[in-house]
Amino acid sequence: MDAQTSPSFAAGAKPKFINGKIVWAGGPSIKQHFALPEPIMYYIAKNPSTPEVYKKLVRSCKYFFEKMQILVVGNLYGNTKICLNEDCDGDERKEKCCFDIDFNKFSNKIWVTNNVCLDEENISTFSSLIFPKLFRWNNIQLHGFADNIMFDDFKKVASFLTDISFVGCRIINDDGNVVMLDKIFEITTNIKDFEFCFFNDFSMINAATMKNICKLKNLQNLEAFRLLFIPEIFNVEDLSNFIKNHQNTKICFSFNDGISEEYKVQVDALIDTVIESEVPNRLINYAGQNQEKEKIMKDCYQD
């Protein structure tokens, strides 16, 4: 359709370039006749159902990209790195599929089909720099490794997080005090997958931690829960209650080598109860445990 046949073009109107777009006086920059009314087409353009649908729309007509300019990517890492490949793990030493963008200059929205990966590097800039650019996302992961994450930064992203993996990591307040693990769970309302590897730092837990976690009502989305290198600090009954209260959650409790023989007896009783229940995806282990019972649980635990 040319300008002479469009009633929305003013007589003698000429196009102008504004912010890199062709803009006509009296109307939008791209003119097109659709079988459906304009409000419906506008809604479709602004609300693509899937990344595949969006890609087809923008290939079919420039109108859709004009109304909603989206970059579809697989993963987002740090403050600058994105990748089109969902299978990429972001390892710069072996991955050649990633590239950097300047979020301060990037005006489009980003649709992340796999993971938004946060860590100590970019958690402080998520709210101000990354989140405003996101159109949709699948998972928002936080990985902490042997470092401190400030609680103020964590609180800003907590409600968005779906996956958390901490390895010797701590959440601390401005005053330097460590935030307990149950306090972390109180504000991660959308958490689906949680893993904490304690190593030799047990500052985020105490005897009441698991009891307090069992009282929380906001873990209905929890799909997987793994505690590794657990010290002899939790009441085994509290661990048992957690297992009973999360029938559909994949659970792994792995204890460190320092637990006492008396504690092992209590853990063995819990193991027997889990095996007798025949509920799948329960794995409890420690060094020197009964290998036959460990094998039974591993066979029912889906990696």
Per-domain residue ranges for the chain?
146-303
Residue 240 above 90 pLDDT? yes
Copy the structure tokens of residue 189: 């309302």
Burial of 139 (0-12, 13-18, 19+ CB in 10 A): middle
Residue 145 above 90 pLDDT? no
Residue 11 above 70 pLDDT? no
pLDDT tens per residue across span 258-291: 899 999 999 999 999 999 999 999 999 999 999 9
- Single-letter code of the amino acid located at 159: S
- Single-letter code of the amino acid located at 39: P
pLDDT for the residue numbered 27: 55
pLDDT for the residue numbered 121: 81
pLDDT for the residue numbered 135: 93
Mean pLDDT of all residues in the chain?
86
Residue 196 above 70 pLDDT? yes
Cβ(90)–Cβ(51) below 8 Å: no
CATH T-level fold of 146-303: 3.80.10
The predicted model gives 19-42 an average pLDDT of 69
pLDDT for the residue numbered 19: 59
**pLDDT higher at 240 or 91:** 240
Length of the chain: 303
Low-confidence winner among 20-29, 71-80, 192-201, 210-219 (lowest mean pLDDT): 20-29
Integer Cα distance of 78 and 82 in angstroms:
8
pLDDT for the residue numbered 200: 79
pLDDT for the residue numbered 243: 95
Percent of the chain at pLDDT above 90?
59
Name every residue whose Cβ is closer than 8 Å to that of residue 49 and which is 6 or more positions away in sequence: none
Residue 249 above 50 pLDDT? yes
pLDDT for the residue numbered 5: 35
**CA angle (235, 236, 240) in 5-degree steps:** 125
The β-bridge relationship of strands 16-18 and 21-23 is antiparallel
State the Rg of the chain over Cα.
Answer: 26
Work out the number of other CB atoms within 10 angstroms of the CB of residue 234. Answer: 22
pLDDT tens per residue across span 121-133: 889 888 888 899 9
Three-state SS for 210? helix
Kind and range of the H or E run holding 267: helix 261-277
Residue for token pair 């591993």: 298
Buried/exposed code over 82-102 (b: 16+ C-beta within 10 A; e: otherwise): bbeeeebebeeeebeebeebe
State the pLDDT confidence band at 146, using cuts at 50, 70 and 90: confident
pTM of the model: 0.79
pLDDT for the residue numbered 18: 59
